[in-house]
Amino acid sequence: MLAQLDQIEQKALDELQAAADEEALQQWKVTHLGRSSPLMRAFDGLGGLPKEERPQIGRRANEVKRRLEEALEERSGALRQAAVLRSLSAERLDVTLPGRPVARGRLHPTTLTMRQITAVFAEMGFQVYRSREVELDVYNFQLLNFPPHHPAREMQDSFYIDTGSERGDNPVLMRTHTSPGQVRSMRFIASLYPGDPPPVRLVLPGMSFRYEQVTSRSEMQFNQIEGIAVGRHITMGDLKGTLSDFARRFFGQNVRSRFRASHFPFTEPSAEMDIECFVCGGAGCPVCKRTGWLEILGCGMVHPTVLANGGYDPEVYTGFAFGLGPERIAMLRHRIDDIRNFYANDLRFLEQF
Amino acid sequence: MKVPISWLKDFVEIELPVDELAHRLTMAGLEVDEIRFVGLPLPGSGGDGKPGQPVTKISGIEWDPEKIVTAAVLEVKPHPNADRLVLCELDDGAQTHIVLTGAPNLYPYKGLGKLEKPLKVAYAREGARIYDGHQPGQALTTLKRAKIRGVESYSMICSEKELGISESHEGVIILDDEAPVGVALVDYMGDAVLDISLTPNLARDANILGVAREVAAITGKPLRHPDYDFRAEGAALDDMVSIVIEEPELNPRFAVGLIREIEISASPYWVQRRLHLAGMRPINNIVDATNYVMLEIGQPLHAFDYDLLVKRAGGKAPTIITRRARQGEELTTLDGVKRRLDDFTVLVCDTLGPVAMAGVMGGLETEVTENTRSVLLEGASWNFINTRRTVNAQKLPSEAAYRFSRGVHPAMATRGVGRGLEMMRRWSGGVVYRGLVDNYPLPPVDSVVEIGPPEVRRWLGIDLSAVEIAEILERLEFKTVVQGERVLAATPDHRLDIGTGVIGVADLMEEIARIYGYERIPETRMADELPHQLGNPEFEREERVRDLLVNLGLQEVVTYRMTSPERESRLLPDPSQAETDAYVRIANPIANDRNVLRRSLLSSLLEVVERNARLGERLALFEIGPVFHALPGSDLPEEEARLALALCGRRQPPAWQASEAAAMDFYDLKGILEGLFSALGIEGVRFEPPGAAEGVSSSSFHPGKCARLRLGERELGWMGELHPLVRAHYELPDAPLLAADLSLAALLECIPAHIQVEPLAAYPPVLEDLALVLDEAIPAERVEQVIRAAGGRMLKGLRLFDVYRGGQTGEGKKSLAYSLTYQSSEKTLTDEEVLKIRQRIIRELEKELGAKLRA
């Protein structure tokens, strides 16, 4: 009897190896574990065995059953796995086909650049202050130490507003820079604490306007970001440190900057800040006009007249101010060779950002 | 301002290489835009310790010392085969050559035999690199041996153009008689010209001496002043002319000198060369002397023909009067233009009338001509504002006006006249009268500023002693007195830009920083207290709106603020109905179609759609920016922040797989706006069909496909499909154009400070659908209101999922299908409870709207 069971087991296991799909497995199961399978019949025959043989044969029969069931499970798993593996090779995608496009929105490149700039200054405590685009000559020029007929006005040709009346030395105009915000913001902040004006640390982003023919290098409308810091202990060293920190944050930690003497009526001393050309590394190239340096911003110590006009006693307070052009910086960074791209709003340009 | 190095060296010793000098000047605020080499070796291989490090734009030519030399023409002979060529016998110091040339200025010497006085010339030997005189611009060429009309030629007598001195190629250079022979030309007159762009505050440096002073201060070398004395061998000037100044404010000083028996001729060659290099054209020895002195020390001079003045005075000594121009007065200036004068223009007159526009241009009648024998030389100072206004009004920029309109110190007037007379005497052989007539009614007060180490510490963040401060200022010719820790600095009498008090301190601070060196000031971080952190909530909210619209798939654009009423009138079905009065107008528009400030942001945006119509199959754009409204009674217009959106074209971008190709419609735009409001936490915005209160802003839209947006009583703006008649004014893609024109300010005010979060439900919801049939005219909003009112607080969700017309719904009817969610926050709802609510909803719908359940 035991030999018979061995035989049953061996035969079933042999046939299981030949079963190659789910159907064959079912067939095998019926044949070897089904009601009328030799194994089941062996169980059925247990009752007819002599009493002393019964436990041994019964144990063995159960063992065979368990082994056959395990073998079936194992074989079945192996077959399923093989089937999955077979199907994988059939389910191959062309992964080089393009993805399903998503309608993506974008910010205008000047918005992007302005955000990047104001973000760096925000971390240094400079907050955003905005002021109007149509201004009085007094705010745009006179309070900034450009008296009427000052030669420096020639560098800032203005669009004037037709007010229908003769306004003498205080015409209405499109602001030529965001600097009128210097006096407006200082007056605002000083007004919060009359008699004891608190320190000022602001950036003033916004659109500015110059009466200039639109060419690849000049626009009649462009953004500016002005910055101003006023307090009791602010020095030109702080100006250099703050702006060099900005340059390293914005253009790269290894970027060198330099300050050249220059002139703006509303700052004194005044400076132009250059950074080492990031295109050629300072060796000289067409982008930096072969000088190795890129002019990035104008800056200086706030002129005593401007401090006084803003409500800050120049005998007590000092400050620095700076102004930079987001379009110019975007042009340098992205090698945009025509400033007109910004306000032409051609999607072929805008969609590159 | 063009500064030849050779001229600079008259006043200061220069040891630095030219490019290093340019770098130092640039750092000190005199920006060198370009160095043009005219003979001196070009930098490049280094030698200045910074090999290859560029400084500025470099151009020009270097003269090979072996191949380009001075020489003497001994005889000028005719060419055997050509009338327009001559053969020069030339000594180059080593040997004699026969040199072929066509220079017209050698023709007069042709056939004179051996010249008594050989002509000194610039001679280029075979192989020399020079500019091609016959090519336009500056094209380098190498001299090669050739046969011209049967005569062998291998070298050349050079013109200014060939050597890069000027554009002149009319004749060859004839050097001054003193020139040596056989010397490298670069050693005799090699040069380099710094082209400096001067900021307006550097008026004092608009001359060679001024730049030399800066060089001296930067490099620590002494400044050598020019000699302002002149040799006077004539009679005393006193009775020859008198001067009347009517308004000293306009003319603080007027000085004249007189020279007679002059002979008008060309200036010495070295003078002509310097003028050319400095960018001026040589005219004759008298005019050149005035220009030379102006370029050299910054004092413009004017030369009158004295005999003509005497004639105008009826044979008597002329009286010069300076005054304002009178109403309607005219003057013909020496450019031959008759000019009508303004009352701010200052004139130099005699008893007959104007003879010059002060500081700008002389009159034609009394100008120096070839026949002039006596010159009255004027050196004056003029009010810079009046000069500036005259230059602008007459559109007459000149070198003199450039300087006067930035301010020339009156102390320079007599210096200029003195030096001018001496130059004229040397170059024209005249006799100078003794003394000057000098009327100086209004000398300026040269400010004295007190300064010390604390101020330098406070402004610049560096520590300098009083002595160091004084030493720096002395280098710029301030007269200083050090008293303990204080410095008293007196402004030198060549500059007008130093103020008094704290402004004077700032002015000196700039000078100290420049000469000390900006690069030596340490970089520090602000030690000042941090300011109040006020933030800018309005700006932050605006930026959030930008971000959300980008997230919703829209492209931001930024357009011009300036437009024209015609451009904006396209937004109306009938453009002739446009109101044009309300615009803020530009007084000096740059173009006819940019003559006002925009009143509509949507108009700008549609222009962008139009521009990109052919590019994109799907356009989704927005802009945030101001529009401008003239405010009656106010100097300044209102600047209203607005938000405009425009959609046009496919719902989804095209792809190789199936994508939603249908064109976007009203509900796409509405969905975007609802998405925006929801993200901002704004609830309850109503989209109202246009009613009786139709405003101008709505007439751009299709009346049946637009909505007015309101939140409570607050108007947010309009949205919808563009009116077909408006559409026709634009070249748009062939798809509906959806647009919104909203008040950004109103929108930002609606944003709640915080979003309130509802607790997550603990009990299960009951979901069911409700399909209704009702009259077409009933708006969906109304149906929703009724359902919500009847559903009460157990109705947690309501969503329309189908709109159906036709079939069994019947004519004039539509079917709306809603998915409803019932839920309690306190318990699990029973079927009975849900049924009661449902029946209430159905009852109310029937009662209020006559709606039936769909079978």
Read out DSSP for B30-55? -EEEEEEEEESPPP-S--SSSTT---
Interface membership of A165 toward B (CB under 8 Å): no
Pair (A180, A323) in one structural domain: yes
Which residues from chain A sit within 8 angstroms of residue B635, using beta carbons? 136, 163, 167, 172
Q: Are B2 and B277 in contact (CB under 8 A)?
A: yes
Q: Please give the C-alpha separations between residue A107 and each of A84, A352, B256, B285, B558, in angstroms, as whole numbers.
A: 46, 11, 66, 64, 10
Interface membership of B550 toward A (CB under 8 Å): yes
Pair (A84, A26) in one structural domain: yes
Asked whether the predicted pLDDT for residue A176 surpasses 80, the reply is yes
Pair (A138, A50) in one structural domain: no
| Strand pairing class (B2-4; B319-324) | unpaired
C-alpha R_g of chain B: 42
The domain boundary, picked from A90, A121, A140, lies at A90
Q: Are B189 and B87 in contact (CB under 8 A)?
A: no
Give the 3-state secondary structure of B759-821. Answer: CCCCCCCEEEEEEEEEECCCCHHHHHHHHHHHHHHHEEEEEEEEEECCHHHCCCEEEEEEEEE
| Structure tokens belonging to residue B738 | 């959806």
The contacts of residue B638 (CB under 8 Å, 6+ apart) are B628, B629, B631
Name the helix (H) or strand (E) containing B451.
strand B448-451
Q: Are B585 and A161 in contact (CB under 8 A)?
A: yes
Q: Could you tell me if residue A98 is inside a domain?
A: no
For residue B697, the model assigns a pLDDT of 52
Q: Nearest-CA neighbor of B192 among B38, B355, B353, B414? A: B38
Q: Give the nearest chain A residue to B521 (CA atoms).
A: A237
Q: Please give the C-alpha separations between residue A51 and each of A46, A60, B500, in angstroms, as whole numbers.
A: 9, 15, 131
CB atoms within 10 A of CB B488: 16
Pair (A179, A141) in one structural domain: yes
For residue A148, the model assigns a pLDDT of 85
d(CA B70, CA B94): 11
Q: Which SS3 state, helix, strand or coil, does residue B686 take? A: strand
Q: Give the nearest chain B residue to A159 (CA atoms).
A: B588
The reply to whether B68-189 and B448-515 are identical in fold is no
Q: Are B738 and B783 in contact (CB under 8 A)?
A: no
Interface membership of A299 toward B (CB under 8 Å): no
Q: Which SS3 state, helix, strand or coil, does residue B841 take? A: helix
Q: Give the nearest chain B residue to A319 (CA atoms).
A: B459
User: Is there a contact between A345 and B559 if contact means CB atoms under 8 Å apart?
Assistant: yes
Q: Nearest-CA neighbor of A225 among A127, A100, A156? A: A127
Which residues from chain A sit within 8 angstroms of residue B28, using beta carbons? 261
User: Is there a contact between B521 and A240 if contact means CB atoms under 8 Å apart?
Assistant: yes
Pair (A134, A164) in one structural domain: yes
User: Is there a contact between A149 and B388 if contact means CB atoms under 8 Å apart?
Assistant: yes
Mean pLDDT of the region A305-329: 96
Q: Which CATH architecture has domain B68-189?
A: Beta Barrel (2.40)
Task: Report ipTM for this prediction.
Answer: 0.90
Q: Nearest-CA neighbor of A222 among B560, B626, B628, B539? A: B560
CATH topology of domain B766-853: Alpha-Beta Plaits (3.30.70)
For residue B48, the model assigns a pLDDT of 41
Which residues from chain B sit within 8 angstroms of residue A305, using beta carbons? 503
Which residues from chain A sit within 8 angstroms of residue B388, using beta carbons? 149, 151
Q: Please give the C-alpha separations between residue B378 and each of A328, B133, B254, B336, in angstroms, as whole numbers.
A: 47, 40, 7, 21
| Structure tokens belonging to residue B94 | 């080593």
Interface membership of B831 toward A (CB under 8 Å): no
Sign of CA dihedral B451, B454, B459, B461: positive
Interface membership of B66 toward A (CB under 8 Å): no
The contacts of residue B415 (CB under 8 Å, 6+ apart) are B228, B297, B299, B379
Classify residue A124 as exposed, middle or buried by CB count within 10 Å of its CB (0-12, 13-18, 19+).
middle
User: Is there a contact between A260 and B26 if contact means CB atoms under 8 Å apart?
Assistant: yes
Give me the residues of A, 243-282, that contact B with CB < 8 A.
244-245, 258-263, 268-271, 282
> What is the CA angle A285-A288-A290, rounded to 5?
50
The contacts of residue B232 (CB under 8 Å, 6+ apart) are B421, B432, B433, B434, B435
Q: Which SS3 state, helix, strand or coil, does residue A111 take? A: helix
The answer to whether the peptide bond before residue A269 is cis (omega within 30 degrees of 0) is yes
The contacts of residue A94 (CB under 8 Å, 6+ apart) are none
CATH topology of domain B448-515: Phenylalanyl-tRNA Synthetase; Chain B, domain 1 (3.30.56)
Which runs of consecutive H residues, i.e. helices, occur in chain A?
A: 2-18, 22-33, 38-44, 54-90, 109-123, 137-140, 180-192, 236-251, 304-309, 326-334, 341-344, 347-350
Q: Could you tell me if residue A95 is inside a domain?
A: no
For residue B45, the model assigns a pLDDT of 42
d(CA B34, CA A313): 42
Q: Nearest-CA neighbor of B787 among B764, B832, B818? A: B818
Give me the residues of B, 641-660, that contact A with CB < 8 A.
652-657, 659
* Helix/strand/coil percent split, chain A, to 5: 45, 20, 35
Q: Are B295 and B207 in contact (CB under 8 A)?
A: yes
β-strand partners of B633 = none
Q: Could you tell me if residue A192 is inside a domain?
A: yes
Interface membership of A232 toward B (CB under 8 Å): yes
User: Is there a contact between B533 and A125 if contact means CB atoms under 8 Å apart?
Assistant: yes
Which residues from chain A sit within 8 angstroms of residue B507, using beta carbons? 268
DSSP secondary structure code for residue B590 in this structure = S
For residue B694, the model assigns a pLDDT of 52
Instruction: Write out the residue range of the structural domain in which residue A235 sits.
Output: 109-350
Mean pLDDT of chain A: 92
Pair (A129, A78) in one structural domain: no
Pair (A147, A285) in one structural domain: yes
Pair (A118, A153) in one structural domain: yes
Give me the residues of B, 391-410, that contact A with CB < 8 A.
405-406
For residue B557, the model assigns a pLDDT of 98
Interface membership of A3 toward B (CB under 8 Å): no
User: Is there a contact between B530 and A284 if contact means CB atoms under 8 Å apart?
Assistant: no
Q: Give the nearest chain A residue to B460 (CA atoms).
A: A236
Q: Could you tell me if residue A223 is inside a domain?
A: yes
Smallest Cβ–Cβ distance between A231 and the set B57, B529, B628 belongs to B529
Classify residue B638 as exposed, middle or buried by CB count within 10 Å of its CB (0-12, 13-18, 19+).
middle
Q: How far off is chain A from B215, nearest CA to CA, in Å?
A: 14
| Strand pairing class (B346-350; B319-324) | antiparallel
Interface membership of A349 toward B (CB under 8 Å): no
Pair (A64, A198) in one structural domain: no
d(CA B156, CA B139): 16
Q: Which residues of chain B have pLDDT under 70?
A: 44-54, 616, 692-697
Q: Please give the C-alpha separations between residue A124 and each of A107, A128, B399, B533, B815, in angstroms, as whole numbers.
A: 24, 12, 47, 12, 60
The contacts of residue B210 (CB under 8 Å, 6+ apart) are B202, B204, B298, B494
| Structure tokens belonging to residue B785 | 């209101």
Q: Please give the C-alpha separations between residue B851 and each of B377, B770, B803, B819, B837, in angstroms, as whole numbers.
A: 104, 11, 14, 16, 17
Pair (A281, A190) in one structural domain: yes
Tens-digit pLDDT profile for residues A12-53: 899 998 888 888 999 999 999 898 888 888 888 888 888 888
* % of residues, chain B, pLDDT over 70: 98
* Interface mutation target, options B57, B389, B560, B638, chain A, most CBs of A under 10 Å: B560
* Interface mutation target, options A161, A213, A295, chain B, most CBs of B under 10 Å: A161
User: Is there a contact between B459 and A97 if contact means CB atoms under 8 Å apart?
Assistant: no
CB pairs under 8 A between A and B: 283
d(CA B837, CA B792): 8
Q: How far off is chain B from A310, nearest CA to CA, in Å?
A: 15
- CATH number of the domain that residue A240 is part of: 3.30.930.10
Pair (A177, A314) in one structural domain: yes
Interface membership of B800 toward A (CB under 8 Å): no
| Structure tokens belonging to residue B138 | 């500056």
Q: How confident is the model at residue A88 (pLDDT cuts 50, 70, 90)?
A: confident
User: Is there a contact between A107 and B659 if contact means CB atoms under 8 Å apart?
Assistant: no
User: Is there a contact between A343 and B202 if contact means CB atoms under 8 Å apart?
Assistant: no
Q: Which SS3 state, helix, strand or coil, does residue B628 take? A: strand
Interface membership of A217 toward B (CB under 8 Å): no
The CA-based diameter of chain A, rounded to the nearest angstrom, is 133
| Structure tokens belonging to residue B579 | 């109101």
Classify residue B380 as exposed, middle or buried by CB count within 10 Å of its CB (0-12, 13-18, 19+).
buried
> Residue length, chain A?
353
* Interface mutation target, options A196, A246, A260, chain B, most CBs of B under 10 Å: A260
The arrangement of strands across the sheet holding A318-324 comes to A127-128, A200-209, A221-231, A318-324, A293-302, A267-276, A257-264
Domain definitions of chain B by residue range: 2-63+192-219, 68-189, 238-439, 448-515, 537-750, 766-853
C-alpha R_g of chain A: 42
Q: Give the nearest chain B residue to A151 (CA atoms).
A: B200
Query: Residue for token digits 């051996």?
Result: B114
Which residues from chain B sit within 8 angstroms of residue A172, using beta carbons? 635-636
User: Is there a contact between A136 and B636 if contact means CB atoms under 8 Å apart?
Assistant: yes
Interface membership of B526 toward A (CB under 8 Å): yes
d(CA B257, CA B430): 13
Q: Which CATH architecture has domain B238-439?
A: 3-Layer(bba) Sandwich (3.50)
User: Is there a contact between B586 and A234 if contact means CB atoms under 8 Å apart?
Assistant: no
The contacts of residue B152 (CB under 8 Å, 6+ apart) are B145, B146
Tens-digit pLDDT profile for residues A141-174: 999 999 888 877 877 789 999 988 888 889 999 9
Q: Could you tell me if residue A102 is inside a domain?
A: no
Q: Please give the C-alpha separations between residue A71 and each of A13, A64, A65, A84, B668, in angstroms, as whole numbers.
A: 7, 10, 10, 20, 60
For residue B46, the model assigns a pLDDT of 41
Pair (A240, A286) in one structural domain: yes
CATH of B537-750, picked from 3.40.640.10, 3.30.420.10, 3.30.930.10, 3.10.450.50, is 3.30.930.10
d(CA B407, CA A147): 14
> What is the CA angle B301-B306-B312, rounded to 5?
120
Interface membership of A346 toward B (CB under 8 Å): yes
Q: Give the nearest chain A residue to B551 (CA atoms).
A: A105
The number of domains in chain A is: 2
CATH code for the part of the protein at B2-63+192-219: 3.30.56.10
